[in-house]
Amino acid sequence: MKKYNLLQEQILQLKKEKNAVIVAHTYQTKEIQEIADLVGDSLQLSQFCASDSSQLIVFCGVHFMAESAKILSPLKTVLLPDIHAGCPMADMAKASDLVKFKKLYPEAKVVCYINSTAEVKAVSDICCTSSNAVDIVKSLNAKQVIFVPDQNLGNYVSTFVSETEFILWEGYCHVHHLLQAADIFDMKEAYPNALVAMHPECRKETLEFADFIGSTKGIIDYVLGQEHDEFIIATEQGIIDRINILDPTKKLYLASECLLCRNMKKITLEKVKEALENNQYKIELEENIMNQARGSLVRMLEVSK
């Protein structure tokens, strides 16, 4: 039976009283993951929020994730415990700039990574996550694709869809983008028997060192499914807590200290408790933006069934 600290117990009691559900991204801290009804990657969380019957969702993640939950469930109340938990990559793409950019490539389909604002989703053809991006692009049968905002993920996906020309937005995840090939080389020197599991938001030259490339769920499934017990993990450090919860026998080494998302870590137990107590911070979106953005997310979920 799980043992919770006092603050966790208080949160779980509040959740019960308010008939709420708590979801958490894999990059959240261990203590947040322990109280969540679901811990997962962006695709898992999107699917769950769209299908769950709870009318109150406390989203332990960053702003674009909570927005997506609201878009898919407009009649539900979605709370983000820290309204300042944003995503610098999402902020690298503005809807107004994308609209202008699309005019340069009138035949291109726009695929937006879920790590984008509601406004960008509203002017995109379809959304994707790192779990399903290859399948999403293939489903379009497009000669040209504008991939926004993550150039690293877009570049990785392009290697699987040779018949499509990729026009990459110049955005990136600042956490994964900081990881250098030299970091992986040094870790392989230190732990020669370890396999390297890496997220496709990393740079192309870094991905060449990977034994496995995948989403956070993909990395977790890969590590748990291997008899091998040593792994160098090249994504945000919160995933190590998740794997340790699921299988504490694995030996995990973080590829670099740079792999820390401070925005994810803005969500704390204290803030989750305050969110439930004070019904804060509600995600509010303009109805027309929400309706347009829903189309790109629903189309993604239909492909991902």
For the purposes of burial, counting CB atoms within 10 Å of the CB of 236, is it exposed (0-12), middle (13-18) or buried (19 or more)? buried
Q: How confident is the model at residue 229 (pLDDT cuts 50, 70, 90)?
A: very high
User: Do the domains 97-174+287-303 and 6-88+264-278 match in fold?
Assistant: yes
What does the pLDDT read at residue 1? Answer: 60
In 3D space, the residue among 52, 67, 64, 63 whose CA is nearest the CA of residue 22 turns out to be 52
Cβ proximity of 147 and 200 under 8 Å: no
Query: In the CATH scheme, what is the homologous superfamily, with its name and number, of domain 179-254?
Result: NadA-like (3.40.50.10800)
Domain segments of the chain: what residues?
Answer: 6-88+264-278, 97-174+287-303, 179-254
Percent of the chain with pLDDT strictly greater than 90: 94
Q: Give the pLDDT mean for 206-226.
A: 96
Which architecture characterizes domain 97-174+287-303 according to CATH?
Answer: 3-Layer(aba) Sandwich (3.40)
53-89 pLDDT, tens digit per residue, is 899 999 999 999 999 999 999 999 999 999 999 999 9
pLDDT recorded at residue 3: 82
pLDDT in tens, 241-266: 999 999 999 999 999 999 999 999 99
> Tell me: the pLDDT tens digits for 19-48?
999 999 999 999 999 999 999 988 788 889
pLDDT at site 47 = 85
Question: What mean pLDDT is reported for the chain?
Answer: 96
For residue 148, the cross-strand partners are 112
Q: In the numeric block, which tokens belong to residue 270? A: 């204290």
Q: What does pTM read for this prediction? A: 0.94
Provide CATH code, domain 6-88+264-278: 3.40.50.10800
Band the pLDDT of 210: cuts 50, 70, 90: very high
Which residues are registered as beta bridge partners of 147? Answer: 111, 168
Per-residue pLDDT for 49 more than 90? no
pLDDT of residue 24: 97
The strand ranges marked E within 96-188 are 109-113, 126-128, 144-148, 165-168
Give dist(CA 126, CA 132) in Å, integer. Answer: 12
Q: What per-residue confidence (pLDDT) applies to 97?
A: 98
Question: Is the pLDDT assigned to residue 172 strictly greater than 80?
Answer: yes
